């Protein structure tokens, strides 16, 4: 399985390497000044796909304590209360930092940033930019700031393929593929900010590159992972035949839109919280309706009507492409893999337990989200924790001296030509057997399939990494027999036997 690494074409030495150019990666890199940083950008960042907004307690009737309480309630008993308190307390300052970085939030009639309501929030605290283009606006502003920062060097089309360590197990470098060229970067500090795992599923709202590569990189050098079974399925991905599926933001329901079945009956009637119940609750109800042979639609006609395109331009454009006018027609929706609450286990400073390796954003398991993420907390976590990671790295005084690498390896050979069938099989199996509802028999089948693909010596390393992450997610789900939050077992143990614990991978 392992072969000696071929000599890289190029070598580079730097103080810090940040793997990922989304919100978490750019926040980390910007806050690392004056340390020299190389940012690796592989493909479109999931940050740019975030439509819902960013949650922060900025209203006169709100407080970080209220925000933390909502976060804890949504997480089904597995949120770390200290993490929730500290991240939500940092929310208002985070909004100020974004505005100073050039983000223009949508304004209300009073001239202040408008605050919207989303599922499971007790206060209207969601800030938006460009309607449902918040992620795109934040990413554009931070990307521009990073481009102008003299301490940051960005490498595009750069795929991290292996982390390198020294004889004491400390980070010593990273191997990068640059569209056919190989680069070895010697560095004492690496930050993984690679995003999520939605691309492992056949139905997903994530960009195709969201395949858990950061999890695989960390796992292969012994980093601890946890809570991998907690995959959030967004209940209102637009079922328009796209891959990935366009998102009908939570904010649309926050503005009054309702879920209906094919006969026009309310899907969430009788459920506490109704259409604004926590995402896991809504996703299960939507999935159950579809599994019963019906369809589910998001009906914004009465609540939003002709103003839909102005308030939600991204969703409106996707509907228009499919020939749907949401002002006069309901939008077909279905659950899709959206966000991963699990990841690399980190502390408040983003430290992974491997000296020299940090993680931030969706790839990290900070304890903020527990078993079910509160809507619009992901951008907040990525930005706040990215800043904390940078502060911790600077306190260690990283330098650009070339570390001594113990030995470098790469898995199998490069290439993608043989992987399309394997990827298709994995994605279908993940959606079918590790989706909204799981059971032991299906998870066992998924584990066997993923293990076989992972062990196939003829497949490229990138496919093996996909299979590794699929297997670890399935094993974590198999090892939690109870139903909690986003992890729901059809064969769950009785309610009284639920365990409020974290499952390591």
Active site residues: 279
Tokens of 331: 């939008």
| Tokens 């004889």, located at residue | 167
User: Do the Cβ atoms of 163 and 5 come closer than 8 Å?
Assistant: no
How distant, in Å, are the alpha carbons of 169, 187, 414 from that of 165?
5, 10, 21
**454 SS3 class:** helix
User: Do the Cβ atoms of 76 and 370 come closer than 8 Å?
Assistant: yes
User: Do the Cβ atoms of 362 and 4 come closer than 8 Å?
Assistant: no
User: Do the Cβ atoms of 57 and 67 come closer than 8 Å?
Assistant: yes
Tokens of 193: 């900010």
Tokens of 451: 């293990």
Neighbours of 400 (CB within 10 A): 14
User: Do the Cβ atoms of 452 and 200 come closer than 8 Å?
Assistant: no
Torsion of CA 15, 18, 24, 26, to 10 degrees: 70
Please report which residue ranges of 75-133 form alpha helices under DSSP H: 81-89, 91-100
User: Who contacts 148 (Cβ-Cβ below 8 Å, separation ≥6)?
Assistant: none
Helix (H), strand (E) at residue 336:
strand 331-340
Neighbours of 428 (CB within 10 A): 14
Q: How remote is the C-alpha of 437 from its chain's centroid?
A: 20
**71 SS3 class:** helix
Tokens of 210: 């969201």
User: Do the Cβ atoms of 482 and 492 come closer than 8 Å?
Assistant: yes
β-strand partners of 19: 40, 192
Characterize the bridge pairing of strands 231-238 and 181-186.
unpaired
Dihedral sign from CA coordinates of 93, 379, 163, 161? negative
How distant, in Å, are the alpha carbons of 25, 155, 188, 375, 435 from that of 183?
20, 11, 16, 38, 37
DSSP 12-68: EE-SEEEE--SHHHHHHHHTTTTS-EEEEE-S--GGGG--S-EE---STT--HHHHH
CA distance 35 to 29: 9
């Amino acid at each position: 399985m392992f072969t000696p690494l071929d000599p890289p074409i190029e070598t580079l030495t730097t103080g810090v390497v940040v793997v990922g150019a989304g919100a978490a990666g750019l926040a980390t890199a910007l806050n690392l000044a004056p340390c020299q940083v190389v940012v690796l950008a592989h493909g479109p960042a999931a940050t740019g796909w975030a439509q819902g907004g960013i949650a922060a307690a900025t209203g006169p009737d709100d407080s970080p304590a209220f925000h933390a309480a909502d976060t804890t309630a949504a997480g089904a008993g597995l949120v770390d209360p200290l993490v929730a308190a500290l991240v939500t307390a940092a929310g208002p300052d985070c909004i100020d930092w974004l505005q100073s970085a050039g983000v223009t939030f949508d304004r209300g009639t009073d001239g202040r940033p408008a605050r919207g309501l989303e599922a499971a929030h007790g206060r209207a605290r969601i800030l938006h930019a460009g309607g449902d283009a918040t992620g795109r606006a934040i990413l554009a502003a931070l990307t521009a700031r990073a481009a102008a920062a003299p301490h940051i060097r960005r490498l595009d089309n750069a795929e991290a393929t292996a982390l390198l360590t020294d004889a004491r197990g400390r980070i010593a470098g990273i191997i990068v593929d640059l569209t056919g060229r190989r680069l070895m970067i010697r560095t004492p500090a690496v930050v993984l900010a690679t995003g999520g795992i939605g691309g492992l599923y056949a139905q997903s709202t994530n960009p195709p590159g969201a395949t858990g590569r950061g999890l695989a990189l960390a796992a292969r050098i012994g980093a601890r992972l946890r809570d991998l079974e907690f995959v959030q399925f967004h209940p209102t991905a637009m079922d328009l035949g796209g891959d990935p599926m366009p998102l009908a933001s939570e904010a649309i329901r926050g503005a009054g839109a309702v879920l209906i079945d094919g006969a026009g009956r309310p899907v969430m009637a009788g459920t506490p919280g109704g259409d604004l119940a926590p995402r896991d609750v809504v996703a299960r109800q939507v999935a159950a309706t579809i599994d019963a042979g019906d369809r589910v639609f998001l009906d914004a006609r009465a609540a939003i009507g002709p103003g839909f395109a102005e308030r939600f331009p991204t969703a409106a454009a996707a509907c228009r492409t499919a020939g749907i006018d949401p002002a006069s027609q309901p939008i077909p929706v279905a659950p899709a893999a959206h966000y991963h609450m699990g990841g690399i286990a980190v502390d408040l400073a983003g430290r992974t337990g491997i000296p020299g390796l940090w993680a931030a954003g969706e790839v990290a398991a900070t304890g903020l989200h527990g078993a079910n993420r509160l809507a619009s907390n992901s951008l907040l976590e990525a930005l706040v924790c990215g800043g904390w990671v940078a502060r911790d790295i600077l306190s260690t005084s990283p330098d650009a001296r070339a570390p001594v690498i113990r030995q470098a390896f790469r898995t199998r050979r490069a290439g993608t030509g043989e992987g399309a069938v394997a990827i298709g099989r994995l994605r279908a199996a993940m959606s079918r057997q590790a989706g909204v509802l799981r059971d032991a028999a299906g998870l066992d089948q998924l584990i066997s399939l993923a293990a076989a693909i992972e062990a196939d010596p003829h497949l490229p390393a990138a496919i093996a990494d996909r299979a590794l992450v699929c297997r670890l997610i399935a094993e974590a789900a198999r090892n939690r027999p109870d139903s909690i939050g986003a992890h729901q077992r059809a064969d769950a143990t009785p309610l009284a036997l639920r365990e409020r614990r974290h499952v390591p991978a």
